[in-house]
Amino acid sequence: MIAKVATAASVFDATLLARAAREALVKLDPRRLVRNPVIFVTEVVSAVVTVLAVRDAVVGADALFTILIALWLWFTVLFATFAEAVAEGRGKAQAEALRRLRAEVTAKRLADPGDRMRVARVGAGELRVDDSSGNNLRKVDYDPAPFFGATFTARF
């Protein structure tokens, strides 16, 4: 049996990036950004500097520097929300992959404790606490672990 391995979503996955771009725009809402005070303040200052840049352009003053500062601030806010959305998307994809893996992983439980060669395959959800303490599980090196953080060795 070939074990299936859970793989994390790539940072450059097109669907992940598209979803993250949409989510980044949604995160620009000040009501959502208020949870992240640094980016919230950066967004507020971006809006103020944008208003000042428009004012300078309308009045006829030299607005180039103000426009460049406003663009830089908006870029910072967009990049921060996009990075957060990518991280959340990767986390959700990895959690889903681990859920699927847990549903697919099987363990070899000894069918008869007296006969260590006769095993029954059981799903990870069917394991009990006493399976590990009583050496009722048989683990072979190439088998995936039945649940995270546990490795079992068979005594022959």
pLDDT tens-digit readout, 29-41 = 888 888 889 999 9
Tell me: do 56 and 120 sit in the same domain. no
Query: Per the structure block, which two tokens stand in for 102?
Result: 């847990």
Range of the domain at 55: 14-102
Give the H or E element holding residue 107: strand 106-112
Q: What angle, 0 to 180 degrees and rounded to 10, lies between the N-to-C axes of helices 64-104 and 14-26?
A: 130
pTM metric for this prediction: 0.56
Contact 112/83 with Cβ under 8 angstroms?
no
Contact 46/56 with Cβ under 8 angstroms?
no
User: Which pLDDT value is given to residue 64?
Assistant: 92
Tell me: do 20 and 83 sit in the same domain. yes
| Residue 145 binned pLDDT confidence (cut-offs 50, 70, 90) | low
Tell me: do 20 and 64 sit in the same domain. yes
Query: Which has more confidence, 91 or 129?
Result: 91
User: Which pLDDT value is given to residue 65?
Assistant: 92
pLDDT tens-digit readout, 49-88 = 999 999 999 998 888 999 999 999 999 999 999 988 888 8
Amino acid in position 59? V
Number of independent structural domains in the chain: 2
Tell me: do 20 and 85 sit in the same domain. yes
Tell me: do 111 and 39 sit in the same domain. no
